[in-house]
Amino acid sequence: MRFDVADLAIEVLPEMRQLKGVATLTFTATAPLARLVIDLDTNLGPQGIAIDGKALPASAWSNPDGQLTIALPRPIAKGGTVTTTITYGGTPHVAVRAPWDDGMVWSQTPDGRPWIASTAEGYGCDLFWPCLDFPKGEPGRVDLHITVPKGLKAPANGVLVGVDTLPDGRTTWNWSAKSPNPYSVALNIGPYEEISGTYKSRFGNEIPMFYWYLPGEEQQAKELFAEFAPTLDFYESVVGPYPFGDEKVGVVETPHKGMEHQTINAYGNEYAKAPEGFDWLFQHEFGHEWFGNQLTAANWDDYWLHEGYESYMQPFYGRWREGEARYAAMMLGQRNNIMNQAPIVSGKLRTEEEVYEADKGGPGQDIYMKGAWMLHTLRNLIGDDAFKQVTTLEVYGRPDPRPGNFKPRFGSTQEYIANVKKVTGKDYGWFFDVYLKQAALPKLVQQRRGDQLTLTWQAPANLPFPMPVEVQVDGKVTKLPMTGGTGTLAVPANAHVVLDPWDRILKQNDAIDRYQAYMKAQMAKRAAAAKKE
């Protein structure tokens, strides 16, 4: 079935740490339907269900394991529509360490007022609303009606339709958002203050910008807000138009670190300063509007399309702002954290946790740093122009995006590989076979005999790897083609040789391997000492 509209009326009860909700969900049958299967955490019921306005007996539905199954009163033919109204509520799952552990965050501002947020990327949107908890379960539209106690605000996804004040002082915040990822729908409640402005895009449109922050932080908030426009300009210049310009750029301060909630990105970096001169967390989460919200991985197995790309956008932004030295410094900082314990892509249907959590056999954090370094290597291999064309084509599904001529889309690893071939006219399957589908990195082996230098790639599983290599000989750089994975160069016996002098290629590195082993041993020692204490 296709998820057309989710109309969510949610009341947040801070004192009880509970939610009460009524979800009206409309679906179109893409095949004959006799039942609806909807995700809803068992903590939240439901308490009642209606189909097309008619209440169902409790015997018509069950929710023993968080997968709510509703028997329809009559089958729905292909192309038909059905609307279910689900009344639910209770005590939602509490996040232990948000955003890595999902659920509700019930916190307080420094002066003791409620400060509340939700996160749902891993465990799922069903922690606080009835949804389809997988990437393609994205609704065409979500209308949110969030009721909060007097004195609190509820910034959320999309466009603010209006705020209703109830007789007892509570307020209902009404929002409407187009095609949000299920996990991107977010609750944010607090005594917020607001900064707003307008960005004049290089594509001719004007985009409203908002930042909601806690009272007493006006100066810091202004400094962060000043980063919005240049960051927008960067992404629009190197990728393409801001995908949600007809809604807003929205950021809200949260009691957890951060998350890419579409048009209402969560920010909890406490205004940290860094030598790069910009707030990495704001830049990272905001960039997910392109890599995650506009372009969404249809299968979590392709998660690197979100996190690898967005991790690469940090040093790429450093390069855009300050040049190659900043870029190199940031890339080298990432390199030390690549673990190579599992392939980035398995070729299977996987959950978010099966990819994100290394102890479940997934690549874990390598979807970030190894993904970024793979993109760094690819850009240096195919060139800046081709890399930009590939990126734009993958994000928008077309080479000429303009405001109004594209919609959010789903992508995959295979499509990305095909786009590289389409842009370059060359088959780079060998590149992706090694970097995405193997855990280990290729190793560059050198052998010098007299005045001859021979280089050979040793790729995992003996895969072909004809990666060209730059060789610096006494200051002069030559690019060795490495056809067949091997290359030979005449080098004077006493010459000083540096391989890949600008570190353009992700490859095995003995020094980094020894450093990582040392750090792992040190951590084990500290853990053992702490256990004794």
In sequence order, what DSSP letters do the residues of 49-92 get, joined into one string?
A: EEETTEEPPGGGEE-SSSEEEEEEEEEE-TT-EEEEEEEEEE-P
The type of residue at 403 is P
Half-sphere exposure of 84 (CA within 13 A, CB side): 25
| Section 217-232 average pLDDT | 98
pLDDT confidence tier of residue 317, bands split at 50, 70 and 90: very high
pLDDT confidence tier of residue 461, bands split at 50, 70 and 90: very high
Residues 139-149 have pLDDT tens digits of 999 999 999 99
Predicted pLDDT at 82: 98
Residue whose tokens read 């009835």: 130
DSSP 8-state code for residue 363:
-
Residues 9-39 have pLDDT tens digits of 999 999 999 999 999 999 999 999 999 999 9
| Percent of the chain with pLDDT strictly greater than 70 | 100
Distance between CA atoms of residues 334 and 327, nearest Å: 11
Task: List, in order, residues 6 or more apart from 430 with CB less than 8 Å away.
Answer: 463, 464, 465, 466
Residues 339-387 have pLDDT tens digits of 999 999 999 999 999 999 999 999 999 999 999 999 999 999 999 999 9
User: What average pLDDT does the chain have?
Assistant: 97
Predicted pLDDT at 493: 87
Residue 533 pLDDT > 80, yes or no? no
Task: Specify burial of residue 122 (Cβ count, 10 A radius: 0-12, 13-18, 19+).
Answer: buried
pLDDT confidence tier of residue 212, bands split at 50, 70 and 90: very high
Among 237, 255, 373, which residue's Cα sits nearest to residue 311?
373
| Section 258-287 average pLDDT | 97
Predicted pLDDT at 284: 97
Q: In this structure, how many other beta carbons lie within 10 angstroms of the beta carbon of residue 40?
A: 25
The rounded radius of gyration (Å) of the Cα atoms in the chain is: 26
3-state secondary structure of 111: coil
Distance between CA atoms of residues 39 and 137, nearest Å: 10
| Section 311-317 average pLDDT | 98
pTM: 0.96
Predicted pLDDT at 532: 84
| Section 308-326 average pLDDT | 98
Residues 151-170 have pLDDT tens digits of 999 999 999 999 999 999 99
Angle, vertex CA 368, rays to CA 158 and CA 318, nearest 5: 80
Residue 531 pLDDT > 90, yes or no? no
DSSP 8-state code for residue 477:
E
pLDDT confidence tier of residue 276, bands split at 50, 70 and 90: very high
Residues 83-122 have pLDDT tens digits of 999 999 999 999 999 999 999 999 999 999 999 999 999 9
Between the alpha carbon of residue 123 and those of residues 101, 128, 134, 317, the distances in Å are 8, 11, 10, 31
Among 251, 246, 254, 160, which residue's Cα sits nearest to residue 211?
251
Predicted pLDDT at 530: 87
Which pair of structure tokens corresponds to residue 340? 């190579």
Task: Specify burial of residue 51 (Cβ count, 10 A radius: 0-12, 13-18, 19+).
Answer: buried
Residues 59-72 have pLDDT tens digits of 999 999 999 999 99
Distance between CA atoms of residues 131 and 133, nearest Å: 6
According to DSSP, the residues that pair with 410 across neighbouring strands are: 296
Distance between CA atoms of residues 314 and 326, nearest Å: 10
Distance between CA atoms of residues 92 and 42, nearest Å: 9
Sign of CA dihedral 42, 46, 52, 54: positive
Distance between CA atoms of residues 139 and 180, nearest Å: 7
Distance between CA atoms of residues 215 and 235, nearest Å: 30
Strand order in the sheet with 2-13: 54-55, 48-51, 81-90, 18-28, 2-13, 141-148, 171-178, 159-165
The type of residue at 130 is P
* 3-class secondary structure per residue, 153-212: ECCCCCEEEEEEECCCCCEEEEEEEECCCHHHCCCEEECCEEEEEEEECCCCCEEEEEEE
DSSP 8-state code for residue 367:
G
Distance between CA atoms of residues 179 and 196, nearest Å: 24
